Chains A and B, each alone.
Chain A
Amino acid sequence: MNARVYETLSIRVGALALSFVLFGGFVALAGADPLDVYYQMYRGSIGTWFSFQNALLRAAPLMLTALCTAIPARLGLTIIGGEGALVLGGLAAAGTGLALTGLPGSVVVVAMATIGFAAGALWVGAAGALRAYRGVNETISSLLLSYIAIALMTYLVEGPMRDPTSLNHPTTRAIPPDAMLGNIPGFDVHWGLAFGIVACVLAHILMMRSVFGFGGAIVGGNLRAALLCGLPVRRMMVIACALAGGAAGLAGMAEVAAIHGRASDSLVAGYGYTGILVSFMAQHEPLAIVPVAVLFGGIGASNGLIQRADHLPDATVNVLQGILFVVILASETLYGRFSLFRPASKKDEPLSSAAPPAPPGPPVPPVENLPEAAA
Chain B
Amino acid sequence: MSPAVASGLGLWGVPLAVAAGAIRVSTPFLYVSLGECITEKSGRVNLGLEGTLVMGAMSAYGISYLTGSPWLGVLVAGAAGMVLGALHGWLCGLPRVNDVAIGIALILFGTGLAFFLGKPFIQPVARQLPAIDLGFWSSSPEVRSALRVNALFVLGLVLAPGVAFFLDRTRWGLILRTVGESADAARAMGYSVLRVRLLATMAGGFFAGVGGSFLSLFYPGSYNERLSSGQGLMAVALVIFARWSPVRCLWASLLFGAASALGPALQSIGMTSGYQLINAVPYVLTLAIMIATSSASRSLPGQPAELGAAR
Interface positions of A (Cβ within 8 A of B): 30, 76, 78, 130, 132-137, 139-141, 143-145, 147-148, 151-152, 154-155, 158-159, 276-277, 280-281, 313-323, 325-326, 329-330, 332-333, 335, 354, 356, 359, 366-375
With A78-B100, A313-B119, A322-B112 as given contacts, are A147 and B283 in contact (CB-CB < 8 Å)? yes
Tell me, rounded to whole Å, the shortest Cβ–Cβ distance linking B262 to chain A. 13
With A155-B276, A276-B104 as given contacts, are A318 and B297 in contact (CB-CB < 8 Å)? no
- Whether B96 contacts A143 by the Cβ 8 Å rule is no
Tell me, rounded to whole Å, the shortest Cβ–Cβ distance linking B266 to chain A. 15
A-B contact list, 24 entries, CB within 8 Å: A130-B294, A135-B294, A136-B294, A139-B237, A143-B233, A144-B286, A147-B230, A151-B283, A313-B115, A315-B225, A318-B112, A318-B115, A322-B108, A322-B111, A322-B112, A325-B104, A325-B108, A329-B105, A332-B96, A332-B98, A333-B94, A372-B300, A373-B308, A374-B308
Residue in chain B with minimal CB distance to A158: B276
Residue in chain B with minimal CB distance to A155: B276
Asked whether any CB of chain A lies closer than 8 Å to the CB of B269, the reply is no
| Chain A residues with CB under 8 A of B309 | 374
Contact of B101 among A132, A152, A329, A371 (CB under 8 A): A329
| Chain B residues with CB under 8 A of A368 | 297-298
Task: Tell me the total A-B contact number using a CB cutoff of 8 A.
Answer: 170
| Chain B residues with CB under 8 A of A332 | 94, 96-98
Tell me, rounded to whole Å, the shortest Cβ–Cβ distance linking A369 to chain B. 5
Interface positions of B (Cβ within 8 A of A): 45, 91, 94-98, 100-102, 104-106, 108-116, 119, 184, 225, 230, 233-234, 237, 240-241, 274, 276-277, 279-280, 283-284, 286-287, 290-291, 294-300, 303, 307-309, 311
- Whether A144 contacts B283 by the Cβ 8 Å rule is yes
- Whether A319 contacts B119 by the Cβ 8 Å rule is no
A321 to B300, alpha carbons, bound, how many Å? 35
A316 to B119, alpha carbons, bound, how many Å? 11
With A144-B283, A148-B284, A374-B309 as given contacts, are A330 and B112 in contact (CB-CB < 8 Å)? no
Residue in chain A with minimal CB distance to B91: A330
| Chain A residues with CB under 8 A of B280 | 147-148, 151-152
A319 to B109, alpha carbons, bound, how many Å? 5
| Chain B residues with CB under 8 A of A140 | 237, 240-241, 286, 290
- Whether B276 contacts A151 by the Cβ 8 Å rule is yes
- Whether A330 contacts B97 by the Cβ 8 Å rule is yes
With A318-B112, A319-B113 as given contacts, are A148 and B283 in contact (CB-CB < 8 Å)? yes
Contact of B295 among A135, A154, A354 (CB under 8 A): A135
| Chain A residues with CB under 8 A of B184 | 359
Tell me, rounded to whole Å, the shortest Cβ–Cβ distance linking B260 to chain A. 12
| Chain A residues with CB under 8 A of B230 | 147
| Chain B residues with CB under 8 A of A323 | 109
Residue in chain B with minimal CB distance to A367: B299
Tell me, rounded to whole Å, the shortest Cβ–Cβ distance linking A288 to chain B. 14
Chain B interface mostly: helix
- Whether B111 contacts A134 by the Cβ 8 Å rule is no
Tell me, rounded to whole Å, the shortest Cβ–Cβ distance linking A172 to chain B. 15
- Whether A333 contacts B96 by the Cβ 8 Å rule is yes
Determine which residue in B112, B237, B308 has the highest number of CB atoms from chain A within 10 A of its CB, and name it: B112
Contact of A369 among B45, B240, B276, B297 (CB under 8 A): B297
- Whether A143 contacts B94 by the Cβ 8 Å rule is no
- Whether B102 contacts A326 by the Cβ 8 Å rule is yes
Tell me, rounded to whole Å, the shortest Cβ–Cβ distance linking A274 to chain B. 9
Tell me, rounded to whole Å, the shortest Cβ–Cβ distance linking B281 to chain A. 9
Contact of A326 among B106, B240, B283, B284 (CB under 8 A): B106
Tell me, rounded to whole Å, the shortest Cβ–Cβ distance linking A316 to chain B. 6
9 extra interface residue pairs, beta carbon distance < 8 Å, beyond A134-B294, A318-B108: A134-B295, A139-B237, A139-B240, A143-B233, A143-B234, A280-B100, A315-B115, A335-B96, A375-B308
A159 to B276, alpha carbons, bound, how many Å? 10
A234 to B279, alpha carbons, bound, how many Å? 33
A356 to B303, alpha carbons, bound, how many Å? 24
With A140-B290, A372-B300 as given contacts, are A316 and B116 in contact (CB-CB < 8 Å)? yes
Residue in chain A with minimal CB distance to B88: A326
Residue in chain B with minimal CB distance to A223: B308
With A319-B113, A368-B297 as given contacts, are A280 and B277 in contact (CB-CB < 8 Å)? no
- Whether B111 contacts A318 by the Cβ 8 Å rule is yes
Contact of A76 among B95, B101, B225, B311 (CB under 8 A): B311
A78 to B233, alpha carbons, bound, how many Å? 14
Tell me, rounded to whole Å, the shortest Cβ–Cβ distance linking A203 to chain B. 19
| Chain A residues with CB under 8 A of B277 | 151-152, 155
